[in-house]
Amino acid sequence: MANLNSSVVDRPQNSPESTQFKEKKNFAPAILIAISFIYLGLVLLIPAANVFVTAFSKGFGPIFAAVQRPDFQNALKLTIGLAVIALPLNTIFGLSAAWAIARNKFPGKAFLLSIIDLPFSISPVVAGLMIVLLYGRLGWFGSWLESNDIKVVFAFPGMLLATIFVSMPFIAREVIPVLDEMGTDQEEAARTLGANDWQIFWKVVVPNIRWGLLYGLVLTNARAMGEFGAVSVVSGNIANKTQSLPLFVEESYKQYETEVAYSAAVLLALLAVVTLILKEILERRTNKKQS
């Protein structure tokens, strides 16, 4: 027994066997990192870079020409308008649903959570078809809408409903885990000090959920601006009327106007980049205020 213990103690820590073991141990993370970069490069980075390279291959002239087209400008305005309206509506719903689920126990809680996740699992095309079957001329509410001269399908309201549907879950899904991790101790302490529910929400809850809320806003905005399937079903893709920017890209490409399609695709990507930059600015300003 003594010889066994002494052999274990006397074995040098930097022996070739231990060094080889460390090298093998550090080899697996390097492989995983390399696979991640290769996968992202093939699936995301190279295709995105190819769009930018193709769009700028003939200089800025084709891009400026595309931006000046009335149908391009109308598509851009419509896309921004959809996002501007859908974002605050989904923010209100997402925060309300997250608070109800994370802070309360009630019958049907799991069912409500499943319903919120429904847009993740349903195809956007099916979502658009659902709206058509409800609000179309032959839908459940079609006759009433037609008698009151209200147009939903093939008009802005239908596109807005489709955009809200597909971008609905992001804020709630980002905020619920943060509220669960946060607990209720700080809220109860604030309530014992005399704070009302509104003060607790703004002074205690919002500072703790700000990152989850911010990520949810970014994802919601990106999905609202980039949605294609559901919007294409309910809009009719009418140029200068119900054609959003993603639909404009698809229609231009189908008409062999590749330069216009690539220019619109670049602008759509730049809108997403601007959103990420704004998120980064807000993060830094918040960190400076806290420090």
Which pLDDT tens digit goes with each residue over 134-159?
Answer: 998 888 898 898 889 899 999 999 99
| Residue 25: per-residue pLDDT | 58
Q: For residues 132 and 62, which has the higher predicted lDDT (pLDDT)?
A: 132
Q: Where are the domains of the chain?
A: 2-53, 59-290
CA distances from 34 to 4, 26, 40, 146, 244 (A): 42, 13, 10, 58, 38
Residue among 55, 53, 78 at smallest CA distance from 65:
55
Q: Are 262 and 282 in contact (CB under 8 A)?
A: no
The CATH class for the domain spanning 59-290 reads mainly alpha
Alpha carbon 204 to its chain's center = 25
Helix (H) or strand (E) holding 6: helix 2-10
Alpha carbon 197 to its chain's center = 29
**Can you read off the two tokens belonging to residue 102?**
């994370």
Place of tokens 């054609």: 243
Q: Are 230 and 240 in contact (CB under 8 A)?
A: no
| Residue 117: per-residue pLDDT | 92
Q: What's the pTM value of the predicted model, to 2 decimals?
A: 0.82
- Using pLDDT thresholds of 50, 70 and 90, give the confidence band for residue 4: very low
Whether the predicted pLDDT of 22 surpasses 80: no
Q: Which long-range contacts (CB under 8 A, 24 or more apart) does 281-287 make?
A: 282/214, 283/211, 283/214, 286/210
Over residues 155-184, the mean pLDDT reads: 94
Q: For residues 154 and 11, which has the higher predicted lDDT (pLDDT)?
A: 154
